[in-house]
Amino acid sequence: MITNLTLTAQNKKVLFVLSAADTLALDNGRKLRQTGVFLNEFYLAYKSVTENGYLVEFASPNGVVATIDEESINDKYWENSLEIRNEAVAFIKNDNSYHSPITLENALENKDNYIGLIIPGGQGLMIDLLEDNNIPILLKHFAVEKKPTGLICHAPSLILTIPVEENPYIGFKVNAVSPFEEFVIEKFIMKGKPKNRRIAKQLKRVGLNYKSGWPKANYAIKDRNLITSQNPFSSSTFNTLYLEALAGYIETIK
């Protein structure tokens, strides 16, 4: 663990890893659908972190600017927060840091500069991040250093990229999109099945203690350094738990 670290603004930095995928194949490639990062799962976490005094650096495969899933701009995911939705849309259009992500290789080189990691959800990560060799290395580093690691909705599936025999999260309580929510997404929203699915079942199979709330619940879990959440409606609980984890980590390195 890092010790005797003076917490300047520079090292109060949280790494946001974003998918760069923009197209999702469904039903064994018979159908293609626009995809990407889910806007509120990304922006509400970003807003929470930055408004509490932390810096953010964005990283993505090959440093490609993330695409936002068009579905996630829909009013229904923002409840009474349409003003924040408009703020989020303006952010992804205009923010220089968002449009200048570093590569995942650069993120690994800089890994000691970050006090936390967040990977927002969306189907895009099921295409590229799930297949990227840098992801298990990053996740293991943050786990070993006990740095707060936030995985949102579909992102807990990335724990599966770490081989079981060296996976530090085996036995942890974990949340992710629920089986019923996956069914609804596939049946009524995407109207097709992607290649990578049944996240909860896979997490349980490798030895994680999967827990979930009701469909559309504001539900998240914190187990040691790992904070996982269920869906686009879970942001407030996720953000509270993640900020608590950051504060707790900072206390250990003062």
| Nearest by Cα to 183 from 165, 168, 171, 201 | 201
Let me know the angle formed at the C-alpha of 38 by 36 and 44, rounded to the nearest 5 degrees.
145
pLDDT in tens, 151-180: 999 999 999 999 999 999 999 999 999 999
CA atoms in the 13 A half-sphere facing the CB of 135? 26
Inter-residue contact 111 to 138 (CB < 8 Å): yes
Q: Are strands 13-17 and 173-174 parallel, antiparallel or unpaired?
A: unpaired
pLDDT band at 80 (very low <50, low <70, confident <90, very high): confident
Q: β-strands 102-103, 55-60: how paired?
A: parallel
**pLDDT: which is higher, 133 or 3:** 133
Section 115-133 average pLDDT: 98
The pLDDT value recorded for residue 3 is 36
Q: Which residues fall within 8 angstroms of residue 88, CB to CB, at 6 or more apart?
A: 39, 40, 42, 43, 44
Determine contact, residues 132/87, Cβ cutoff 8 Å: no
Is residue 253 packed enough to be buried (19+ CB in 10 Å), middle (13-18) or exposed (0-12)? middle
CB 12: neighbour CB atoms within 10 A?
17
What angle in degrees, to the nearest 10, is found between the helix axes of 39-51 and 235-253? Answer: 40
Which of 233, 238, 239, 237 is CA-nearest to residue 72?
A: 233
Average pLDDT over all residues of the chain: 95
Burial class (CB in 10 A: 0-12, 13-18, 19+), 25: middle
Contact 128, 19 (CB under 8 A): yes
**H or E element at residue 148:** none
In this prediction the pTM is 0.96
Residue-wise pLDDT tens digits, 22-44: 999 999 999 999 999 999 999 99
Place of tokens 């996630």: 72
Residue pLDDT, tens place only, 175-229: 999 999 999 999 999 999 999 999 999 999 999 999 999 999 999 999 999 999 9
Which residue ranges form the domains of the chain, and what is each CATH number?
A: 13-253 (3.40.50.880)
